[in-house]
Amino acid sequence: MMLIISALITGMVTGLQNITTESPSMISDITTSLNTKNKVPEMGLVEPTKLSLPTSDMVNVSIHDQPSMWDLYLHHCSKWRPINHIFFQVANIFFLMSFLAPHTDIGQIWLRVGLMMGCAFSGMWAWSVECYLDAVLWNSVFILINFVYFSYQFYLMRPIKFHKEIEEVYLALFKPLRVSRRQFRRVLMCMRNVRHLKCHELYAHEKVTKVDSLSLVLSGKLVVSQNQRALHIVFPHHFLDSPEWFGVSTDDYFQVSIMAMEESRVLVWHRDKLKLSIMSDAFLQAVFDHILGRDVVHKLMQVSETMAVSNGHLPNSYEEGEDKPMLVVKKAGDGPGITAILNRQLQATDPNAWRLGRIDETDHETPV
């Protein structure tokens, strides 16, 4: 902006100097012509006496007759030139249209295209009408710069596609909160891996595994237990460690164990890397706090109903290195059992609820 203002001021001063330098030259021409007329041929005649005005009068005339620099600048165009060529008019129409571009992705494309078209017609006008080589070169440079920005913006607007499982996560959790695909891709850049779990494989061991990740179930089901007592079941599009997101450092350990009930796939993020990535984006911070907070509330509701009955546990007879059954249901006449509780509450509240109809509850312990 300062460069533009400086160039404008320089042009005005230069124009005024050109105008003021023309006035003394005109006066000197008039004086020269008068002196030529007053010369007397050398034929022996006496030169007539010259009349002279008082010096004070000449000073007064020169002061009153000299116009101001501002008047000279305003009235220096005694006659306007004809209207410019059609190329010049079209160029300015494209410039006007580019300045009206909205502040959107499409508006950025509109802006760059308008500037390129305007510079193209301006260069054609300078080449074919006025023959200004410098104007042609400058407009060529402007076209090249705007083409680079146009190409970059067009590249950013390309459709962003995800893997089928990731696409389902985006549509289910993030798109309803108006998270753009570009923002979600930024979140995915913090992904560690997609972990495949076999049936009865531990994802996290109680007081052994560190809390250094954020995990989302893509497919399958996992059970969360504490002291070999089942707390709740995690279904697809739910987080495994959402409670640890709030106020738990990466040096702490899981207070629960998480085990796969069937073949499962889990999306794992670098926890610290993800937090650093969204730290500068208040919107993404609010989105994750909302999604994870809602997930925590859902887990608390499950645990509160599950703990109402105390017959779901894992037997102590299994050694640490052996495969353990996921959930042991014990029916001793003191309640409907944890299986029925989980089945009823999840079918009532969770669209991803699953049935345990294939499990037959008997009086003896039945591994699930």
- Could you read off the pLDDT of 149-207 as tens digits, one per residue? 999 998 888 888 899 999 999 999 999 999 999 899 999 999 999 999 999 999 999 88
Q: Are residues 176 and 230 in the same domain?
A: yes
Q: 280 and 214: one domain? A: yes
Whether residues 198 and 263 share a domain: the answer is yes
Query: Which are the contacts of 70, defined by CB distance < 8 A and separation ≥ 6?
Result: none
The answer on pLDDT for 142 being more than 90 is yes
Residue 287 is predicted with a pLDDT of 94
pLDDT in tens, 263-306: 999 999 999 899 999 999 999 999 999 999 999 998 888 888 77
Are 185 and 249 a contacting pair, CB within 8 Å?
no
What is the Cα 176 distance to its own chain's centre? Answer: 19
Residue 4 has a pLDDT of 57
213 within 8 A of 268, measured Cβ to Cβ: yes
Residue 137: pLDDT over 90: yes
Q: Report if residue 230 sits inside a domain.
A: yes
CA pair distance 283, 277, nearest whole angstrom: 12
Do 140 and 101 share a structural domain? yes
Q: Residue with structure tokens 């079209």? A: 90
From the CA atom positions of the chain, what is the Rg in Å?
Answer: 43
Predicted pLDDT at 364: 42
Q: Looking at the domain assignment, is residue 235 inside a domain? A: yes
- Tracing tokens 């969770």 back to the chain, one arrives at 350
Which residues sit opposite 107 in a β-bridge? none
Stated pTM of the model: 0.56
Mean pLDDT rounded to a whole number for the chain: 75
Residue 138 is assigned to a structural domain of this protein: yes
- pLDDT number for residue 363: 40
pLDDT of residue 220: 93
- In this structure, the answer to whether residues 279 and 186 fall within a common structural domain is yes
Judge whether 220 lies within some domain.
Answer: yes
259: β partners: 202, 223
pLDDT of residue 329: 39
Q: Write out pLDDT tens, residues 328-355.
A: 434 333 344 445 555 554 454 444 443 3
**Residues 83-89, mean pLDDT to the nearest whole number:** 91
Please check the confidence at residue 46 and state whether its pLDDT lies above 60.
no
Q: Are residues 132 and 174 in the same domain?
A: no
The last residue of one of the domains, among 263, 285, 307, is: 285
More confident residue, 115 or 58: 115
Provide the CATH number for the domain around residue 272: 2.60.120.10
Q: Are residues 98 and 124 both part of a single domain?
A: yes
Question: Among 236, 263, 285, where does a domain finish?
Answer: 285
Rounded to whole angstroms, the maximal C-alpha distance in the chain is 156
The pLDDT of residue 254 is above 50: yes
The number of distinct structural domains making up the chain is 2
**CA separation for the pair 177, 186 (Å, rounded):** 16
- The mean per-residue pLDDT over the stretch 99-112 comes to 91
What 8-state DSSP symbol labels residue 220?
Answer: S
In this predicted structure, what is the pLDDT of residue 11? 56
Residue 233 near residue 342, CB atoms below 8 Å:
yes
Type and span of the H or E element at 95 = helix 86-99
**Integer Cα distance of 285 and 293 in angstroms:** 12
**What is the pLDDT at residue 3?**
56
For residues 171 and 125, membership in a common domain is answered with: no
Q: Does the structure show a pLDDT above 50 at 41?
A: no
Kindly state whether residue 34 falls inside one of the protein's structural domains. no
pLDDT surpassing 80 at residue 68: no
- Residue 131 inside a domain? The answer is yes
| 66-70, 140-144, 350-354, 361-365: which is most confident | 140-144
Q: Residue 326 — pLDDT band, cuts 50, 70, 90?
A: very low
pLDDT of residue 12: 57
Measure CA 217 to chain center. 28
Q: Domain limits at 210?
A: 164-285
Segment 351-365 shows an average pLDDT of 40
Nearest 5°: CA angle at 102, between 100 and 103?
135
- Per DSSP, the three-state class of 62 is helix
